[in-house]
Structure formats: C-alpha cells, structure tokens
C-alpha cells in the first residue's frame, strides 16, 4: 500500500508542476474545468484541482498511518484519485489540440454593436467606391486618346472588383447580424 501511495504522490507532484506552468500560460478558463462529481473545488485553473487530489491522497495516508483506513474507504479514495488523475492527464494531453482548434476557429466572436460598426464602415466604403466608379466611368467616356481610355478602363475594372468585394463583405456582415438577432 505504501508503494502505491508513493507512486501516486510522485505522479501528483509531476502533475502539479505541469498544471502550474499551464495555468501561468493559459490563465483562468471561462467555466470550471471539471464536473462537481470529480472535483469539489470547481476550479477554473488546474492547480486547485491538483491540490484537491493531493489533499485526498494526504487524507488517505494519514488514515492509513493512524490505522483508520478501512478497505472500503481505501477503495473509494483510490477510485476517486484515479479518476481525478486521469481527468488531469487528459486535460493536459488535449492542450495542443485546443490551441490548434482555437487557431482554426479564428478571431473572437464580435458583439452585435461591433458588427453594426463594421457594417457602417462597409456601407461608407461602398458609397465612396460607387462615387469613384462613377467618376472613372465618366473619365473613360471623356478620354482623348485610346491609351488614356485604356488606363481609365483598367481603373474602372479595379474599382468594380473592389466594389464587388466590399458588397460581399457587407452582405456577410448583414447576414451575421440577422442570424445573431434571430438567435437571441
């Protein structure tokens, strides 16, 4: 029994070091990392969860030294400790996957207010591009030579492409806003 307790103690010490390092880098999570059935502390960091598991191990050691540890209690504590250690190891093992998932997910989700500001910017850009396109089209008609006319036509084409991209972006923002407003 003492050998198993020592093995668990060493494993929890290793987990404590890794958890402290991860907590420093990652910071606090938005929600508790584990269910209340697994960890009573409801920690948003890993370190309090490791501390809880270490505390449970210390209770088991103390009860064993005092001769108060029954077989049923030892079994229950061991099962709880193994579940906690497994959960901590899984959490630490999935960190690279979470980073990769966040990177592919992209930027944070914008608020409705930010989306409306973005929409207003795109509407303004669209209006300005339409004005420039109108001026460039008039310049093509007024061009004095074919070479000048060709330069103006290139400008018109470039402005039409920019305007099309601007409209697509505006429509995307509008659809996001309407989707989010329907959802709430």
- pTM value is 0.55
Q: Chain-wide mean pLDDT for the chain?
A: 89
Tokens 């990769």 sit at which residue? Answer: 100
Is the pLDDT reported for residue 54 higher than 80? Answer: yes
pLDDT score at 138: 92
What average pLDDT score do residues 148-171 get?
Answer: 93
Q: What does R_g of the chain's alpha carbons equal in angstroms?
A: 31
pLDDT score at 25: 87
CA distances (Å), origin 130, targets 133, 148, 151: 5, 21, 18
141 token code pair: 């008609």
| Longest CA pairwise span in the chain (Å) | 105
Model confidence over 89-122: pLDDT tens digits?
Answer: 999 988 887 777 666 655 567 888 899 999 999 9
Is the pLDDT reported for residue 33 higher than 70? Answer: yes
pLDDT score at 112: 87
């Amino acid at each position: 029994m003492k050998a198993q307790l020592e093995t668990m103690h060493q494993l929890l010490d290793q987990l404590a070091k890794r958890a402290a390092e991860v907590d420093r880098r990652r910071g606090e999570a938005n929600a508790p990392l584990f269910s209340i059935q697994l960890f009573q502390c409801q920690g948003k960091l890993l370190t309090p969860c490791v501390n809880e598991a270490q505390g449970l191990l210390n209770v088991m050691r103390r009860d064993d030294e005092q001769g108060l540890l029954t077989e049923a209690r030892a079994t229950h504590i061991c099962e709880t400790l193994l579940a906690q250690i497994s959960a901590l190891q899984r959490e630490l093992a999935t960190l690279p996957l979470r980073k990769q998932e966040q990177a592919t997910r992209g930027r944070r989700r914008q608020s409705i207010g930010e989306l409306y500001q973005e929409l207003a910017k795109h509407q303004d850009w669209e209006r300005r591009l339409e004005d420039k396109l109108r001026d460039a089209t008039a310049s093509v008609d007024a061009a004095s030579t074919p070479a000048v006319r060709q330069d103006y036509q290139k400008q018109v084409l470039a402005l039409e492409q920019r305007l099309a991209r601007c409209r697509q972006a505006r429509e995307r923002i509008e659809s996001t806003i309407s989707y989010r407003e329907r959802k709430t």
